[in-house]
Amino acid sequence: MDSLTVDHTYGGALFDVAKERRKITVIGEEYKAVSLVFKENPMLKKLFIVPTLSALEKKRVAKKIFEGRISTELLNYIYILIDKRRIGAWEDIGRYYDKLVWESDGLTKGIMYSASPLDKDRIEAMEKKAGAAIGRKVKLENRIDKSLIGGVRIYVEGKLIDASVKTRLENMKKRIRS
C-alpha cells in the first residue's frame, strides 16, 4: 500500500510540474532515459538507495551524471527523491506518470490477449471496439496467450472484454441447455 501512495504522490507531483511548465512530453522522455540508465547500470540506482551515503553525496553523483543531460525540473525531482529516500520507487512513479499523461490525453491503456500476434489493422479495430465499450480512446498492447483457441480477451480499466472462442462456446453450451 505504501508504494501505491508513493507512486501516486510523487508521480502526481511530477506530472503537475510538467504540466505547469508545458513539458509533459519532454519530462516523460527524460524520465524514460534515466530509467534506461538505471536499468543498464543497476549499481547506480543502488548507490542512490544505500543508507551509507549521505543525501548530499548522492546529489553530487546525480548532478555529475545528469546535469546538462536532463531538464532542471527532472534533476531537482531526482534530488527530492534522494532527500525523501524514494528513488527505490522510480519505476512505479514512472508508470503512474505515464498513466496520468495518457489520461490527460483522453486515452487509456489495455492488454489484449490473443492466440497469435495480431496485425496492426486488427489491433486498431479492437481498440475502437474496446473504446466504444468503455467510452474512451484505448491503446492496446497485444500479448500472446497460447491457452486461447481463438478470439481475444481484453483487459482495460479493470474490465474484461472476453471475445475468446472458448467463452463463446461455453455461452453457446449454456443457451442450448436452457
Phi, psi angles (nearest 5°) of residue 146: -65, -15
Q: Which residues contact 31 (CB under 8 A, 6 or more apart)?
A: 14, 74, 94, 97
Is there a common fold for 2-102 and 107-177?
A: no
Task: Give me the residue spans of the domains in the chain.
Answer: 2-102, 107-177
* Per-residue pLDDT, 4: 60
pLDDT at 2: 45
Q: What is the CATH number of domain 107-177?
A: 3.40.30
pLDDT at 32 exceeding the cut of 90:
yes
Q: 2-102, what's its fold?
A: Peroxidase; domain 1 (1.10.520)
How far apart are the two ends of the chain, measured CA to CA in Å?
45
Mean pLDDT of 135-139: 86
The mean pLDDT value for 62-81 works out to 96
Residue 170, pLDDT score: 78
Residue 82 reports pLDDT greater than 90: yes
What average pLDDT does range 51-68 have in this prediction? 95
